Structure 1
Amino acid sequence: MKIEVEKNSLLNVDAESLVIGIFENIEDSKHLIDEIDAKLDGSINERIEIGDFKGKMGQISTIYTRKKIPAKRILLVGLGKKEDLDYERIRRVSGIVIKKIRDSEVKKFKIWLMGLEKTDLKVEEIARAITEGAILGNYKFYIHKTEKLDEIKLVEEFSVVYNDLIDEIKNGIRSGQIIAEATNFSKDLTNEPANIATPTYIAEQAKKMADELGIKCNIYGEKEIEEMKMGSFLSVARGSNEPCKLVVLDYNPNENLETIVLIGKGITFDTGGISIKPSMGMWEMKQDMAGAAAVIGALKAISQLKSPLHIVGITPLTENTPGGRDPNLPGDIVKSRKGKTIEILHTDAEGRLILIDVLDYANEFKPKVVVDIATLTGACAVALGIYASGLFTTDDDLANKLIEAGEETQERLWRLPLWKDHEKIMESKIADVRNINPNRKEGAGASNAAGFLKHFIGDYRWAHIDIAGTDLESKGKDYTPPGASGVGVRLIVQFLKNWGKKSG
């Protein structure tokens, strides 16, 4: 999508549609209304007086200007109460607007910079929120459609207009566009079916992106992974006929910079293995690589935003199927890269098996912080639903920083327990650890999974994010269409942005 900045006065904007945000307390927007109404013979005030427009959040009302001003239409969009306006609400309003414009088959529009009446909001961040909401809300995944393509409507271009502060607006648009397009890139990877988005395909897409942006990218196959002694990862991979891959994206490799490692679970399709899943809903398991897609998308954004950190993204990629040459069997014992042995009691607890070898491999980069993100447990989805991802860490400061980034992006996190009990319960009688606690009555599946991972971390600060309930948007929201949600990209980028400010 093409996005422009235009310096102009309100009444001189020439557009097919000009979007103007109006607060629910009309007095808070009176200066805008009166300026336009002086040319439109009171059309806006009349609409307000008869109750056709009340400024409620997301309400839209169209006024045709009849050539009294250059803009052909004014779209009044409700911002709700002034005291409730924040960047998330601006994103939501922008997403609502883009869908309204798109459905009217208008390809271009302009939007007057909204929200300046709320003095605690920054111009740059307002412009970023407008941009993110528009690009994310305009997203559609349709590349496999061959029919009715003429019915697919997308907005091609919009402009943010204001009479001042153009540099701040440009900066906000640039960052918003980078982050939103990286999120949509992540969505594309996740929405692809498993017969296309194989480990090889995802590795190739990551390499193509990395080459375009100057990110160092290494892709390792089974032989190299075996040489790295990643026995736990390979125990899952050898259940599939699709070759596994390990992708390592290395941005800003400089020994003088703080290193943060991001790890994303990349199960490109999860049947459950020998412990096979029920067939109903199994098609959603193509999205079991959403963590990997989030990490790849985050690296795409981070490199363009020129983060002052050394960021390494690692994604182990494989299917979990029972049809390969040597699938895991319940009761098998395998050896991890760290040297610990794992009793595999359930082959559908495979995500943790591929993550643990990478958590140990992360030590090679001498990181200060490691964050892994994974669609790991149905238990987390049961606990938190679609409303928040689960956060597990014993580091209070790291937890607070991640939660703050989640609030800023509204990719919210909720911290769940990670106690020594959850590590202890994952110990095995015949191996070092087991991959599940078979006593279902004891519950705490999400925390137990995090406790299992903790057995394999190194000498670094660590957090685990479980996105099992938030990776898929089934119905669609204001700026998140149905399908892959792209969760994690904006969260990680904001976390690193905040961290980079501290480091820079």
Structure 2
Amino acid sequence: MKFSIKTDHPEKQRSDVLVLGVYDSLKVAYDKPILSISTINYIASILKHGDMSGKAGSSLILYNVPGIKIPKILLIGLGKEKELDGKKYCAAVRAMIYALKKMDVKTISSYIQIAPVIESDIAWNIEHFINEVMDASYEFAELKTINKKTKKTFDFLVNVDKKNQKVAEAALKKSFALAKGIELTKTLGNLPPNICTPTYLGKKAQEIGKEHGMKIDVLDQKQIEKLKMGSFLGVAKGSRQPPKFIILQHNKGKKTQKPIILVGKGITFDAGGISIKPAGDMDEMKYDMCGAASVLGTFETIGLLNLPMNVIGIIPTCENLPDGLAVKPGDILTSMSGQTIEVLNTDAEGRLILCDALTYAERFNPEVVIDIATLTGACVIALGHHASALYSNDDKLAKDLESAGQISMDRVWRMPLWEDYQSQLDSNFADMANIGGRAGGSITAACFLSRFAKKYKWAHLDIAGTAWKSGKAKGATGRPVGLLTQYILNKIY
């Protein structure tokens, strides 16, 4: 996809199709008139025939409209004018893409982004226009050899008023970088686990680091053993794929600036270990590395934007498989922190690799640490697939993440992290158990992690319900790259 900001009048532009938004009142959407009276009247006369309702997502193609040199006009319904919020706007942009895919067009002159959206501005409109276009156009077909479709690409002329040109160009740069980060995250998640191994993730991190001038370390098993990460290594024992511990450093801020640390769970396939999962839908456990993928996607974005911040990514990555050497229920592991953990369920492995990463993060004296993980099925039961669960030991950090989620439309919902739940992790034989029972499963998982994050401000994002979709639309979503990027941007601007 190509995008460029334009300030031309639609009656002077040349492209294959002109895209306009239309309300359910059949009024063309704009913040000030962009068409001549005769053209508006002509479009209105066509719409009176009832071929288009103007309801959100509806569409109609007009040909050879008087006063317009562009041969086709695509009208996209926006619904009620006073109810055009961010969600409806994004849905309209997606409807535009679905309509364009059916048309024989290449260059698109779009004005849908100038429709006034509730509590937004032109920068927000353009950012979400580009992100929705890129998301709706994404296809994972790298491994198909039969009936492989040629991916359809478009050149978008994104039109704004001249006074908004600089703002729009900045929004384009930001949103395109974000879209590339989300695209990388989705592709990593969608790759099969026989390709996307811990070693593969390590190589991908090295590519990102080299491309953007970041410091990169990929530690092997011997180096991990020297760090005494017994909890992480306990999970990795059941696999023939060697574990990796990845550290990415984007050091573009002031030397005195404490870093933001992002920690991503990187289980490249989760069979559950000895506590093996049911066979149904087990293929989706390739998505158990989406936390790691979101960290790499965020680093791709901040690298493209060359943000003046110090940001560190930490990714513990391995497989969780059953084997003669695999950790067993009843085993006790010693974490890097020295705390001992009784493993009651080997399928609660994400917290076992994250806890050592959280301890490792202490050495960087961070401003904040945010871990991202497809951690619990209990989170999906609690919140479904709309919001990621947020836990934090710091109210300001939690509010900042909530705010970033609202702006990016990559929302979170804060969950309790009360001391009352900690006793569910009591063990007769170790400092703690790795599970706390079915009740409040997502909460007790966060409580477990909180025991390793006491020396800094910390937040945990459980993305088990938001990192991928099942069914016909099966695939990684790229969340929460938008949230994480917006959080970092909010720290700068």
The one-letter amino acid paired with 1:69 is I
Are the counterparts in 2 of residues 58 and 93 from structure 1 also a CA contact under 8 Å? yes
2:310 is aligned with 1:314: no
Alignment match, 2:56: 57
Following superposition, the deviation at residue 416 of structure 1 comes to 1.4
1: CA distance, partners of 2:370 / 2:160: 40
Deviation digits for residues 308-363 of structure 1 (CA, Å, limit 9, x no counterpart): 3211011111000013x621011000100000000001100000000000000000
Alignment match, 2:361: 362
Alignment match, 1:407: 406
The one-letter amino acid paired with 2:113 is M
2:242 is aligned with 1:260: no
Following superposition, the deviation at residue 10 of structure 1 comes to 1.7
Alignment match, 2:346: 347
Are the counterparts in 2 of residues 342 and 431 from structure 1 also a CA contact under 8 Å? yes
2: CA distance, partners of 1:38 / 1:363: 67
SS, match of residue 311 in structure 1: strand
SS, match of residue 15 in structure 1: coil
SS, match of residue 182 in structure 2: helix
2:492 is aligned with 1:496: no
Deviation digits for residues 453-481 of structure 1 (CA, Å, limit 9, x no counterpart): 111114111111101111112368xxxx6
Give the 5 Å matches for 1:23-34: 23-26=23-26, 29=29
Give the 5 Å matches for 1:452-463: 452-463=448-459
Are the counterparts in 1 of residues 89 and 117 from structure 2 also a CA contact under 8 Å? no
Alignment match, 1:2: 2
SS, match of residue 110 in structure 1: strand
The one-letter amino acid paired with 2:125 is I
Are the counterparts in 2 of residues 23 and 79 from structure 1 also a CA contact under 8 Å? yes
2:153 is aligned with 1:160: no
Call closer, same or farther: CA 1:102–1:475 in 2, change over 3 Å: farther
Alignment match, 2:373: 374
The one-letter amino acid paired with 1:185 is L
2: CA distance, partners of 1:80 / 1:54: 9
2: CA distance, partners of 1:162 / 1:499: 28
Are the counterparts in 2 of residues 372 and 464 from structure 1 also a CA contact under 8 Å? yes
2: CA distance, partners of 1:90 / 1:131: 12
Are the counterparts in 2 of residues 93 and 133 from structure 1 also a CA contact under 8 Å? no
Give the 5 Å matches for 1:46-195: 46-65=45-64, 68-112=67-111, 114-118=113-117, 121-149=120-148, 151-164=149-162, 165-195=164-194
2: CA distance, partners of 1:185 / 1:366: 29
Alignment match, 1:428: 427
SS, match of residue 194 in structure 2: coil
2: CA distance, partners of 1:26 / 1:462: 50
Are the counterparts in 2 of residues 294 and 488 from structure 1 also a CA contact under 8 Å? yes
2: CA distance, partners of 1:395 / 1:96: 40
1: CA distance, partners of 2:307 / 2:144: 37
SS, match of residue 279 in structure 1: coil
1: CA distance, partners of 2:474 / 2:179: 16
Query: Scaled by the length of structure 2, what TM-score is found?
Result: 0.95
Following superposition, the deviation at residue 218 of structure 1 comes to 0.7
2: CA distance, partners of 1:428 / 1:198: 33
Call closer, same or farther: CA 1:234–1:31 in 2, change over 3 Å: closer
Deviation digits for residues 100-153 of structure 1 (CA, Å, limit 9, x no counterpart): 21232433312025335458532222221111111111100000011223x344
Deviation digits for residues 426-459 of structure 1 (CA, Å, limit 9, x no counterpart): 1211100110124x4xx11000101111111141
Alignment match, 1:468: 464
Following superposition, the deviation at residue 425 of structure 1 comes to 1.8
Are the counterparts in 2 of residues 249 and 312 from structure 1 also a CA contact under 8 Å? yes
Task: Kindly report the root-mean-square deviation, in angstroms, between the aligned alpha carbons of the 2 structures.
Answer: 2.1
Which residue of the other structure, out of 477, 487, 495, is the alignment partner of 2:479? Answer: 487
2: CA distance, partners of 1:62 / 1:282: 44
SS, match of residue 256 in structure 1: coil
Are the counterparts in 1 of residues 369 and 456 from structure 2 also a CA contact under 8 Å? yes
1: CA distance, partners of 2:98 / 2:187: 19
Call closer, same or farther: CA 1:37–1:195 in 2, change over 3 Å: farther
1: CA distance, partners of 2:102 / 2:278: 38
1: CA distance, partners of 2:471 / 2:409: 18
Following superposition, the deviation at residue 395 of structure 1 comes to 1.9
Call closer, same or farther: CA 1:252–1:50 in 2, change over 3 Å: same
Call closer, same or farther: CA 1:86–1:173 in 2, change over 3 Å: farther
The one-letter amino acid paired with 1:78 is G
Alignment match, 2:446: 450
Alignment match, 1:274: 274
2: CA distance, partners of 1:404 / 1:488: 13
Moved more, 135-144 or 98-107: 98-107
Are the counterparts in 1 of residues 29 and 112 from structure 2 also a CA contact under 8 Å? no
1: CA distance, partners of 2:337 / 2:151: 51
Moved more, 341-350 or 89-98: 89-98
Are the counterparts in 2 of residues 259 and 311 from structure 1 also a CA contact under 8 Å? yes
Alignment match, 1:286: 286
Are the counterparts in 1 of residues 21 and 115 from structure 2 also a CA contact under 8 Å? no
Structure 2: gaps spanning 5 or more residues: none
Moved more, 405-414 or 86-95: 86-95
Are the counterparts in 2 of residues 28 and 82 from structure 1 also a CA contact under 8 Å? no
Moved more, 182-191 or 106-115: 106-115
Are the counterparts in 2 of residues 98 and 155 from structure 1 also a CA contact under 8 Å? no
2:303 is aligned with 1:303: yes
Structure 1: gaps spanning 5 or more residues: none
Call closer, same or farther: CA 1:43–1:206 in 2, change over 3 Å: same
Are the counterparts in 2 of residues 436 and 448 from structure 1 also a CA contact under 8 Å? yes
Following superposition, the deviation at residue 163 of structure 1 comes to 4.4
Call closer, same or farther: CA 1:128–1:363 in 2, change over 3 Å: same
Are the counterparts in 1 of residues 97 and 137 from structure 2 also a CA contact under 8 Å? yes
2:191 is aligned with 1:199: no
Are the counterparts in 1 of residues 263 and 314 from structure 2 also a CA contact under 8 Å? yes
Deviation digits for residues 207-260 of structure 1 (CA, Å, limit 9, x no counterpart): 111211111111001011111111100001111000111111101165311311
Call closer, same or farther: CA 1:34–1:158 in 2, change over 3 Å: closer
Following superposition, the deviation at residue 98 of structure 1 comes to 1.6
Alignment match, 2:22: 22
2: CA distance, partners of 1:233 / 1:117: 50
SS, match of residue 349 in structure 1: coil
